[in-house]
Homo-oligomer: A and B are copies of this chain.
Amino acid sequence: MAVIGTGLIGTSVALTAAEEGVSVYLSDRSRAAARTAAALGAGRAEDPPEPVDLAVLAVPPSRIAEVLIAAQERGLARAYTDVASVKERPERAVLARAPEPSRYIGGHPLAGRERSGPLAARAGLFRGRPWALTPHRLTSRAALDRGLELAELCGAAPVVMRSREHDEVVALTSHVPHLLASVMAARLRDGPAGVPLLAGQGLRDVTRIAAGDPRLWSDILRSNAAAMAGVVTELRADLARVAAALAALAEDQDASHEAGHDQGVRTLEDLLARGAAGLAGLPRRPGVGPPAPQAALRILVPDRPGELARLLAAVAALGIAADDVTVEPAQPAQPAQTAQTAQTAGTAETVEPAEAAEDSGLQVRVPVPATDAERIGAKLGADGWERAAAESVPAR
């Protein structure tokens, strides 16, 4: 394999391939970067003695076509792919100008770090991540196979799609988020003196990707400008509505009965709810594949301090994520108050008088993989936990 461009992604591909026993030949416009990658164990910083099976072009989107043309003219490899996060413009340039476009398949591993350069590289960076492959109308079967093999070698999940579809998706999932992170981070420079004192994890998360290399990202964003423009137009419309709402709400609280105030509250609530709904459509973790079928165990917890914490620890010790555990009062004969209600209502003070007697403790719902439900239920039972009348209930 040849890797052209030993930045973060190229060096990570090379390190992973070298660990798997592949002979890797490294090159970079900066000889120091190629030598650094070699000294990390990513391969040899020299030209291959004969054509390789696959050349990976790890250069910015605007440079893919010219680098491919130069490599094909010297017969570097039998197949070529790249790792850039924009696919349609490079593909169009390859189809128009490359000597052997059939030997090229676009590629894009969905992994990265906010640091750049070979020293930030890691073998295993792509494990479990999606790896988009975008064959065009002339891509040969052999080139597609080399692309699939590379994704699998890196432990990634190949996702085959058209270049235009890819670019529309990543405009939404990567490029516009990067833009927003930068717009937000840019505002911090001129903020009040207390900003560094009160910067929390939320701000760090929202802005983290803005630390990426500005030159590389400028190349990426301008190469996908058309797909981004549509998303940015929609964002600006949302922000215009929010700005109007904030202006109405910024009036003194005494005006809280005016129509503009109510409309402002509704605008904010609508946006926040749409945001939460948008997140709910994403898979829990990066990667592909549907979640395993779930069942639910219902456990009765005595209403004594610490008992619920003891159950959560027992559940965690069985390898079950406690994130989805919910609580409801144990009143089997009554319409259940859902635990979701109990959770989100936990923000105010007055006791609801209508609530039922509480001697029977709390009923805790523990979602578990359906295939493990019996085993986990038996284990909790053996540890002295009492199952509620409703036995393992299929969920979803």
Contacts and interface: CB of A to CB of B under 8 A. Distances in A.
Interface string A289-301: 0000000000001
A286 B194 contact: no
A188 interface: yes
A343 B209 contact: no
A175 B234 CA distance: 21
A36 B308 contact: yes
A380 interface: no
17 contacts: A28-B348, A28-B349, A29-B348, A33-B346, A36-B346, A111-B201, A116-B343, A118-B342, A173-B199, A174-B198, A180-B180, A183-B275, A187-B234, A187-B238, A205-B205, A218-B269, A221-B268
A203 to B, nearest CB: 5
Contact of A283 (B93, B169, B199, B215): B199
A379 interface: no
B198 A130 contact: yes
Nearest to A7: B346
A44 interface: yes
Contact of A218 (B44, B203, B268): B268
Given A35-B358, A93-B253, A119-B326, A182 B283 contact: no
A32 to B, nearest CB: 4
Interface string A103-132: 000000011100111111000000001101
A63 B349 CA distance: 9
Given A243-B236, A346-B30, A198 B173 contact: yes
A225 B251 CA distance: 8
Contacts of A111: 200-201
